[in-house]
């Protein structure tokens, strides 16, 4: 048995709704690059700043959203609750008839419970970042006291009847806690737990955390076995080894990303990474949403054509089956690894691995169907 993502009602496993039911286009909005934590795995461009997305831009954007097929805004950061007008932004979104959700470390959530409760009718999910089943593991990555804070935030959601789930970024240090994390999430009353692989970033703190291609493939097998055996919703971001060429929501035109500078980009997973400026497509300070979406659609189609051609040209390599890694290579976000021969992805990047004929690719929806309602990071 498990809870319905929206109503909290318990449904038998065989009749529960799909985890991606109601696929309205979602706009991921990075409200700020400010964050109260300094997580070891986080890209340098996603925290440590003092900037935030202007409320005026959102006031212009939100009324255009529904007319352009957007039905859901997902707030991220940085830490979204640190935006100086967070309550106003949630009210603006819900008041326009759009669903909303958020990804948060939970530290500041108690200050915003009244806002969340007031706009509960349009709230899809609060997703907490949980990077270890044990306090020591989580705090080693996110900072002392952060584990207790996120558990307290989850408890507050239970008391208020607010829907929540967890994200867990997989690293060398927490990979042994995946089963315990599922048990913890279930025991806390969450509606699901989604696992995601670490994105390669030159942040020195992340280098000791990252697993190479073979280790990721082995862990993916464990995760799929865990999902099959679990009576609790377990999902994955599409960054693991995949046969599908386009397994992610952005490349299926189901998800958009707006960074804290007001720029529309290819994907939230590339936002904020050093060297990934090529993933930026349009600036909404200088163009309207419809124009920006047309530019994004053209860019995505060009990328898809390039990837299809690469899959057919005889130079396809096993690491190309990792979709997020492939995109990071495509925009030059991992070129810094060429100077790091001890990095676990050095051989993959420099071509030391042998090319092979790609497998027959499965339908693009395969990986999206394993994600929980929050597919951003």
299 with 281: CB under 8 angstroms? yes
Q: How many domains does the chain have?
A: 1
How far apart, in Å, do the first and last CA atoms of the chain sit?
27
Q: What is the pLDDT of residues 163-196, one digit of tens each?
A: 999 999 999 999 999 999 999 999 999 999 999 9
**How far, rounded to the nearest angstrom, does the alpha carbon of residue 40 sit from its chain's CA centroid?**
17
pTM: 0.87
What pLDDT is stored for residue 365 in this prediction?
A: 39
Task: Indicate whether 248 belongs to any domain.
Answer: yes
Which tokens is 196 given? 């995601």
SS3 191: coil
Q: How many CB atoms lie within 10 A of CB 108?
A: 16
What pLDDT is stored for residue 353 in this prediction?
A: 58
Which tokens is 289 given? 């949403």
State the number of CA atoms in the 13 A half-sphere of 360 facing the CB.
0
Q: What is the pLDDT of residues 92-130, one digit of tens each?
A: 999 999 999 999 999 999 999 999 999 999 999 999 999
List the CATH number of the domain containing 12: 3.20.20.70
Task: Indicate whether 207 belongs to any domain.
Answer: yes
What pLDDT is stored for residue 314 in this prediction?
A: 81
What pLDDT is stored for residue 3 in this prediction?
A: 33
What pLDDT is stored for residue 257 in this prediction?
A: 94
Task: Indicate whether 200 belongs to any domain.
Answer: yes
What pLDDT is stored for residue 279 in this prediction?
A: 81
Residue 209, domain extent: 2-298
Where in 177-218 does DSSP place strands (E)?
193-197
Q: How many CB atoms lie within 10 A of CB 365?
A: 16
What pLDDT is stored for residue 194 in this prediction?
A: 97
Task: Indicate whether 26 belongs to any domain.
Answer: yes
Task: Indicate whether 356 belongs to any domain.
Answer: no
Q: Which residue positions in the chain have pLDDT lower than 70?
A: 1-24, 44-48, 204-207, 273-276, 352-377
What pLDDT is stored for residue 372 in this prediction?
A: 52
Task: Indicate whether 128 belongs to any domain.
Answer: yes
Task: Tell me how far apart the alpha carbons of residues 291 and 287 are, in angstroms, rounded to a whole number.
Answer: 6
What pLDDT is stored for residue 364 in this prediction?
A: 41
Task: Please work out, in degrees rounded to the nearest 5, the angle formed at the alpha carbon of residue 225 by the alpha carbons of 224 and 230.
Answer: 100
Torsion of CA 10, 376, 92, 58, to 10 degrees: -170
């Amino acid at each position: 048995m498990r809870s319905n993502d929206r109503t909290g009602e318990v449904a038998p496993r065989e009749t529960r709704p799909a985890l991606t039911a109601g696929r309205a286009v979602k706009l991921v909005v990075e409200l700020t690059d400010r964050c109260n934590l300094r997580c070891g795995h986080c890209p340098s461009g996603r925290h440590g700043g003092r900037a935030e997305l202007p409320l005026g831009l959102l006031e212009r954007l939100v009324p255009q959203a529904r007319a352009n097929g957007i039905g859901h805004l997902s707030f991220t950061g940085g830490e979204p609750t640190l935006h100086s007008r967070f309550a106003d932004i949630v009210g603006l979104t819900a008041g326009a008839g759009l669903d909303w959700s958020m990804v948060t470390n939970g530290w500041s959530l108690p200050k915003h419970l009244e806002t969340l409760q007031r706009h509960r009718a349009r709230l899809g999910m609060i997703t907490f970042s949980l990077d270890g089943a044990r306090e020591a593991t989580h705090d080693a990555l996110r900072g002392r006291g952060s584990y207790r804070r996120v558990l307290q935030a989850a408890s507050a959601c239970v008391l208020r009847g607010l829907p929540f789930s967890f994200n867990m970024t997989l690293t060398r240090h927490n990979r042994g806690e995946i089963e315990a994390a599922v048990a913890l999430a279930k025991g806390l009353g969450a509606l699901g737990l989604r696992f995601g692989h670490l994105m390669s970033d030159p942040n020195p703190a992340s280098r000791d955390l990252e697993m190479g291609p073979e280790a990721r493939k082995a862990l993916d097998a464990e995760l799929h076995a865990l999902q099959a055996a679990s009576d609790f919703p377990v999902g994955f971001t599409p960054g693991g080894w995949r046969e599908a060429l386009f397994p992610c929501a952005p490349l299926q035109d189901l998800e958009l990303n707006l960074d804290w500078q007001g720029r529309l980009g290819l994907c939230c997973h590339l936002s904020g990474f050093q060297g990934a400026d090529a993933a930026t497509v349009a600036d909404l300070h200088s163009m309207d949403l419809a124009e920006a979406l047309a530019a994004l659609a053209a860019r995505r189609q060009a990328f898809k054509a390039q990837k299809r051609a690469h899959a057919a040209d005889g130079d396809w390599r096993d690491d190309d089956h990792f979709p997020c890694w492939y995109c990071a290579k495509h925009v030059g976000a991992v070129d810094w690894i060429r100077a790091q021969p001890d990095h676990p992805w050095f051989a993959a990047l420099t071509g030391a691995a042998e090319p092979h004929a790609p497998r027959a690719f499965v339908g693009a929806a395969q990986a999206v169907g394993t994600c929980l309602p929050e597919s951003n990071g």
